[in-house]
Amino acid sequence: MLYKGGYSQHFFFRWLFNDAVSITRLFSVDGILTFTLRLEKTSEKIQKVYHWQSHNVKLSGVDDMVLLPKISEDSIVENLKKRYMDDYIFAPYENPPHIYALADDMYRNLLIDNENQCVIISGESGAGKTVAAKYIMSYIARISGGGSRVQHIKDVILESNPLLEAFGNAKTVRNNNSSRFGKYVEILFGSGGQPEGGRISNFLLEKSRVTTQNVGERNFHIFYQLCTGASDAMKSKYINFNFIIIIIIIIIIIIIIIHQDFGLAPLDYYHYLSYGGNHKVEGTNDAHDFQETLKAMNVMGMTDQEQTNIFQIVSGILHLGNVMFVEKGNYSEIQDINSISYPAFLFEVDQYHLKSKLTSRRFDSKWGAQSDTIDVTLNVEQALYTRNALAKGIYARLFDYLVKRVNGAMETNAPGYNIGILDIYGFEIFERNGFEQFCINFVNEKLQQIFIELTLKAEQVGFDSSVTFIYVF
Ligand SMILES: Nc1ncnc2c1ncn2[C@@H]1O[C@H](COP(=O)(O)OP(=O)(O)OP(=O)(O)O)[C@@H](O)[C@H]1O
C-alpha cells in the first residue's frame, strides 16, 4: 500500500495521532511507509519518525521514482531492476488504475466508437478531484494533435483552471485550494481527434464566502492575490484611490495623506477578509499566483481595460465590506460617509444612489387599480444584510462573466463528439452547514447513489446465470 502526499492523508494522520500537525516527509520503500510527523504539544515542537509496515504487499520497489528515499542513479537502477524481476515494469496498461489510463481510454473510445464520453469525479473535500480533472485535461491536450489554432484552444482549456481557481477556490480547513464551485468541462473534438473548442458550465458558487468565512479559512484567492500581487500603480488605482477622493474632499488631510504609501493596503484593513484569522497559506504565494491569473486572462484574450474593470469590481467589493452603519432614530445611516465614495467610484456608480440603495428599499404597493411606490428606510441589521447581498450578488455575476468569457474564447460550431469532466466540490460537514453546503452535500449523495447503482447493477449482471439473489436495483 502506497500513500502519496495529500490533505486526506494529512487529516488521516492528524486523526490517528491526535496532536500531529504536519507530515514533513513521506515515502515508501518495499512496502514500508516512512513518514516524519511534526508534533505540537502545547508550545513545544518535537520531531518524531514513525515507521509503518504494510502487509501482504508485493515488494516491487516504488511506483513513483520521486518516492525513493534517495534519488540517485544507483537507487533508480535498483528500483527498475526490482520491478523488472517481479514483472512489474512501467507500462500504462499493466499498472493499476491510473488517471492517464482512464483519460486515454476515454479518448480512444470517443474516436473509435464515435460516442460522447463523461467522467464524474467524486470524493470528499481534499481527496484530489480537481488535481485529477487537471491531469485528465493536460493528458488529452498532450496526446491530441493539431496546429496553432488547436494549440490556442488547448491553452484556453488549460489556462481556464488558474483563472477560475483564483476566483472560485479558497483555503478551507481541509484543503488549501478547495474548489468552492462545481464545474462541468466539455472538450469538443473534431473528426481528427483534435480539440476544436470547449464549454464550461458552473454550478453553486459558494458566494456566502465573499462576506464571511469560518475560522481557519479564507475568502476567495483573488482578494489576497490582488492585494499582495498588484503593482504599486494598480494598487493606487484599485485599492487606495480612496485617498485621492479624501484629498479632494478634505484639504487638511492632504498633508497627512501625501506622506502615506499609496502602494500598500494591508489585508487587515478589509472587513470581508477578517473572519478566518490568518491571511497566509502555507505553500501558497499569492503575489506569484496573481501573475498566473493575469497570464490566464491574457490567454482568454481579455483586454487591459477588461482586466481593469474586473479588478475594480474585486476591489470595490472589499471596500463595500468596510461600509458600516449606525442607528439614527429608527433607521440606519452610513457611519463614515467617505467610506461609500470608494466602492461607488470603483463600481462607477453615483455614491448618493449607492447610499440610498444600502439604507432603503423600494416598496411597491397595489390596491385595486391603484399602485404606489415608496422608499422604506432600513434599520442597521437590514442595511448590513443589503450590503452583503450586494457584495455577493456582484461577485457571483463577476464569476459568471468570467466563465462566459472563457467559453467565448473556445467557442465552436464545428460538429463532433465531446469528453465531459464533472468536478464538483466535495462533501463536507461543518459545525454550521449553510444552504450552499446542504446543496453540495445533496449533489454528492446523489452522485454516490449513481455510482453505487451502476457498480451494483454491473455486479448483478455478472451473477445473473449462476446465483439467485434479491435484486437491489
Ligand atoms: N495526485 C496527486 N498528487 C499529489 N498531490 C495531490 C494529488 N491529488 C491531490 N493532491 C493534493 O491534495 C490537495 C487537494 O486536492 P484537490 O484540490 O484536487 O482536492 P478536491 O477533492 O478537489 O477538494 P475540494 O472538494 O475541496 O475542491 C492538492 O492541493 C494537492 O496538494
Residue range 403-425: mean pLDDT, rounded: 93
The CA distance from 16 to 193, in Å, is 47
Query: CA 426, 443, 181: angle at the middle one, nearest 5?
Result: 50
Counting every residue, how long is the chain?
A: 473
Distance CA 116, CA 188 (A): 9
Mean pLDDT calculated for residue range 311-331: 92
User: Mean pLDDT lowest for which of 37-51, 111-125, 450-464?
Assistant: 37-51
Residue 317 in grid coordinates = 467589493
428 included as an active-site residue: yes
Q: Where are the beta strands (DSSP E) in 368-464?
A: 370-377, 417-423
Q: What is the pLDDT of residue 302?
A: 97
Q: Which of 158-172, 342-356, 453-467 has the lowest mean pLDDT?
A: 453-467
Q: Pick the catalytic residue: 28, 125, 315, 322?
A: 125
Give the three cell numbers for residue 239: 485599492
> So what's the pLDDT on residue 27?
47
Q: Average pLDDT for residues 235-247, to the nearest whole number? A: 59
Strand arrangement, sheet containing 417-423: 117-121, 417-423, 182-189, 195-203
What is the Cα–Cα distance from 342 to 351, expressed in whole angstroms?
Answer: 9
Going by C-beta distance under 8 Å and a sequence separation of 6 or more, which residues neighbour residue 334?
A: 323, 324, 325, 326, 340, 355, 358, 359
Residue given cell 484611490 in the structure block: 241
State residue 59's pLDDT score.
Answer: 59
Instruction: State the burial class of residue 323 (Cβ atoms within 10 Å of its Cβ: 0-12, 13-18, 19+).
Output: buried
Q: Which grid cell is 351?
A: 455614491
Q: Which amino acid is at 382?
A: Q
- pLDDT at residue 432 above 50? yes
pLDDT at 160 over 60: yes
Does residue 281 have its Cβ closer than 6 Å to ligand 1?
A: no
Contact 9, 23 (CB under 8 A): yes
* Range 74-99 average pLDDT: 75
Q: Tens digit of pLDDT for each residue in 185-237?
A: 999 999 889 999 999 999 989 999 999 999 999 999 999 999 999 877 777 66
Residue 315 contacts residue 234 (beta carbons within 8 Å): no
Provide the grid cell at 465. Answer: 446465470
More confident residue, 278 or 169: 169
Give the residue whose CA is nearest to atom 9 of ligand 1: 128
Which residues neighbour 256 within 8 Å (Cβ) at sequence distance 6 or greater? none
Q: Give yes or no for residue 6 CB within 6 A of ligand 1.
A: yes
Check whether 253 has a pLDDT greater than 50. Answer: no
pLDDT of residue 271: 93
Q: The cell 496546429 sits on which residue?
A: 147
Q: C-alpha dihedral over 419, 422, 423, 429, to 10 degrees?
A: -160
138-165 mean pLDDT: 93
d(CA 124, CA 335): 43
For residue 5, report the distance from its CA to the centre of ligand 1, in Å: 9
- Average pLDDT value for residue range 329-356: 91
Whether pLDDT at 472 is above 90: no
Q: Which of 251-260, 310-319, 393-402 has the highest mean pLDDT?
A: 393-402
Interval between CA 176 and ligand 1 midpoint (Å): 9
Q: Tell whether the model's pLDDT for residue 251 goes beyond 60.
A: no
Residue 45 has pLDDT above 70, yes or no: no
Any ligand 1 atom below 6 A from CB of 175: yes
Place of cell 467610484: 345
The mean of the pLDDT values for the chain is 81
Say whether pLDDT at 283 is over 80: yes
Give the pLDDT of residue 54: 44
How far, in Å, is the centroid of ligand 1 from the Cα of 130?
Answer: 6
Element spanning 198, H or E? strand 195-203
Q: Is 434 a catalytic residue?
A: no
What mean pLDDT comes out for the span 306-322? 93
Mean per-residue pLDDT for 83-94?
67
Categorize the per-residue pLDDT at 449 as very low, low, confident or very high, splitting at 50, 70 and 90: confident
Measured CA to CA, the distance from residue 303 to residue 202 in angstroms comes to 23
Q: Which among 8, 169, 178, 219 is annotated as catalytic?
A: 178
Over residues 398-412, the mean pLDDT reads 97
Q: What average pLDDT does range 408-419 have in this prediction?
A: 93
Q: Is 130 annotated as a binding residue?
A: yes
What does the pLDDT look like over 25-34, one tens digit per residue? Answer: 444 444 444 4
Cα dihedral across residues 348, 349, 354, 355: positive or negative: positive
φ, ψ (nearest 5 deg) of residue 370: -90, 145
Q: Count CA within 13 A, CB hemisphere, residue 72.
A: 4
Span 276-302, average pLDDT: 94
Instruction: Judge if the beta carbon of residue 128 lies within 6 A of ligand 1.
Output: yes
Q: In whole angstroms, what is the distance from residue 382 CA to residue 272 CA?
A: 18
What mean pLDDT comes out for the span 30-48? 48
**Confidence band, pLDDT 50/70/90 cuts, at residue 92:** very low
Q: Tell which one of 4, 7, 139 to mutate to probe ligand 1, the residue whose CB is within 8 A of the most ligand atoms.
A: 7
- Whether 21 shows a pLDDT value over 70: the answer reads no
Residue of the CA atom closest to atom 15 of ligand 1: 128
The helix (run of H) or strand (run of E) holding residue 227 is helix 221-229
39 vs 302, residue with greater confidence: 302
Q: Kindly report the number of other CB atoms within 10 A of residue 174's CB atom.
A: 18
Task: Examine the residue annotation and report whether 126 is marked as an active-site residue of this protein.
Answer: yes
Q: What is the predicted pLDDT for the residue at 236?
A: 66
Q: How far is the CA of 461 from the centre of ligand 1 (A)?
A: 34
Longest dimension (CA), the chain: 92
Task: Please check the confidence at residue 239 and state whether its pLDDT lies above 70.
Answer: no
Place of cell 505540537: 40
How far is residue 122's CA from residue 130's CA, in Å, rounded to a whole number?
Answer: 10
Which stretches of 334-379 are DSSP H helices? 338-347, 351-359
Say what percent of the chain tops pLDDT 90.
48
pLDDT at site 169: 97
- Report yes or no: 136 and 119 within 8 Å, Cβ to Cβ: yes
- With a cut of 80, say whether residue 16 has pLDDT above it: no
Report the sign of the C-alpha dihedral through residues 345, 347, 353, 356, in that order.
Answer: negative
Burial state string for 431-460 with b = 16 or more CB within 10 A and e = fewer than 16 = eeeeebbeebeebbeebeeeeeeeeeeeee
pLDDT digits over 96-134, tens only?
678 998 999 999 999 999 999 999 888 888 889 999 999
Q: Is the pLDDT of residue 469 over 50?
A: yes
Q: Which residues is 35 bridged to in the sheet?
A: 26, 50
CA 273 – CA 388 distance, rounded (Å): 13
Quote the pTM value.
Answer: 0.76
